[in-house]
A and B are shown apart, each in its own frame.
Chain A
Amino acid sequence: MALDLLALIYLSAAANGLLVGAISLPLIISRSTLFALTMTHAVLGGAILGIYVNEVLGVGLPIQLTAFLVALMLSILVAELSEKFFSEDVSIALAIALATTITVVFSYLLARISPAGLSQAWSYVAGTSAVATLSDLQRTLSSLAIIVPLIHMTSGEIKYISFDRDGAAALGLNTRAYRYLFFALGSLAASTLSMSIGVLATHVLLAIPGAIAVKLFRRKLFTASYLSAACLSLGGYALAQALNIPPSGGIGILSAIAILGMVVAREA
């Protein structure tokens, strides 16, 4: 039984790693790491909003759905604002302010009606999967089945649009549709990962494998991204087990070491 549980934990870790590996490289090469910041803030706001609505209305909304929808809406808001009105930095700051407002206001309201609901909400910050369940694994595998094929089908175009947006549009690529698809896949990945390893570790983890691939490799970037993400995720779980801390803590420590390693490699 203990062995089964351990296997389940590491299978979940490996699946999380693959999910990160798929989305991290396009995030880095399309210069969208700040979008990841928007997405993770929005996921937290969406999760707390979902818990609050469930408590108040007594319904059973899936929390991942509300987290995903809020992340998607705020990502699209950033895209539209930066296309028509403001610089990208200003648009991201505005979206993060909105997401934080949703988080703070609904945390306050939730605390007044249900302390248990508030502790459930906090689990989205720190992560819940110290003990993995079969539903955790199923949820991650379902997201993988959607994200991996779509990312591989469209990553060339996403990269091209980041390289030369007007040129891509002149070639007939629907730049807006590709960006929205990418945000949808990013939001799905961020909401799935946040359910298990938490928002903070998700934000750190989303950027690192892609950065490792781009900085240290010239070819097979996706393979490098998948492998480094899987190593970080599995290694993070193992470290967490050894130190008796939550998996997000182990992943955070390994991510910090990876960033320092990249800095040292670049200086060398």
Chain B
Amino acid sequence: MAEIELKNVSYSFGDRVALEDVSFELNSPFFCAVMGPNGAGKSTLLKLMLGLLKHQSGIIRIMGYDVPREAGKVRRLIGYVPQVIDIDYRVPMSVEEVVAMAALSRDLPPRIMTGSVRRKVREVLELVELDDPSMQFSELSGGQRQRALIARALVSDPRILLLDEPYSMLDFDMKCEIAELLYRLHKDKGIDIFLVAHELSPCIHLEPIVILLNKRVYAIGRAGEVLTLENLRRAYPGLTEVPAGFILGEDHG
């Protein structure tokens, strides 16, 4: 049984097609990166896998569970790291509060932070190399924010981590640090990684499985097989060829 299985999945926002006939399978263990231009449907794909959106046709199964019918069971197996741009920093939240809610969310209200939850929070913060749980989320650097969100996803001991643009708004060194952290979690803790990004350079040396996506899947496989000029030209309409190679533009609608 494939850990992640999508068959002919399509999704549209009104008349605008976001994903069309997307199919792929991933067997554990995997470190997978979905690459595609802006507007390729990468975030939509993650939201469909979590059951936050309901696909209009096709089948999605995560570890044998049907999404969205069994989305509750799926969410217990998955840790989700959203795009930092979707977070409202103006809401006053400490790092401890951000991480603890993931542990408390399985209980019924009132959700009270117990000693064991505090210990668990400190444990995962150590894992992602954050040491002050009392800091306000808004006061963290970009890399620390990403680490705090990864800690939140880890606190419920997930089998799979789904990450939406984990390298966005970071400098290149920080992107590489986040990529190394994810790879360490994959190797040491056995957590499967499924991330979407519009650039793979921070993690390309970690030899991820790459899915090239722009509304539909153009290629899937090891980076060397997938990232060919021919595949990229098909998936990235704005690709510019220059004598030394090619340039992938940021915005390809």
Contacts and interface: CB of A to CB of B under 8 A. Distances in A.
Contacts of B228: none
B92 A170 contact: no
A204 to B, nearest CB: 21
B116 to A, nearest CB: 17
Interface stretch (B97-105, B119-127, B243-251): B97-105
Nearest to B113: A156
Interface residues of A, number: 24
A166 B52 contact: yes
Contact of A31 (B47, B52, B76, B91): B91
B75 interface: yes
A113 interface: no
A131 B23 CA distance: 71
A172 interface: yes
A252 B47 CA distance: 46
B93 A170 contact: no
B152 interface: yes
Nearest to B156: A171
A165 B83 CA distance: 11
B189 interface: no
B50 interface: yes
Interface in A210-255: 214, 221
Given A30-B91, A164-B87, A156 B52 contact: no
B86 interface: yes
Interface string B84-97: 00111011110001
A173 B102 CA distance: 10
Interface string B63-82: 00000000010011010101
A172 B75 contact: yes
A175 B52 CA distance: 11
Contacts of B86: 164-167
Contact of B75 (A31, A153, A171): A171
List the 6 closest A-B pairs by CB distance, nearest first: A170-B80, A171-B105, A163-B91, A153-B110, A162-B91, A167-B82
Given A164-B87, A167-B82, 5 more contacts: A160-B101, A163-B91, A164-B88, A166-B82, A169-B50
Interface of A: 29-31, 152-154, 156-157, 159-160, 162-173, 214, 221
9 contacts: A156-B97, A157-B111, A160-B97, A164-B88, A167-B82, A168-B101, A169-B50, A170-B75, A170-B78
Interface of B: 47, 50, 52, 72, 75-76, 78, 80, 82, 86-88, 90-93, 97-98, 101-102, 104-106, 109-111, 137, 149, 152
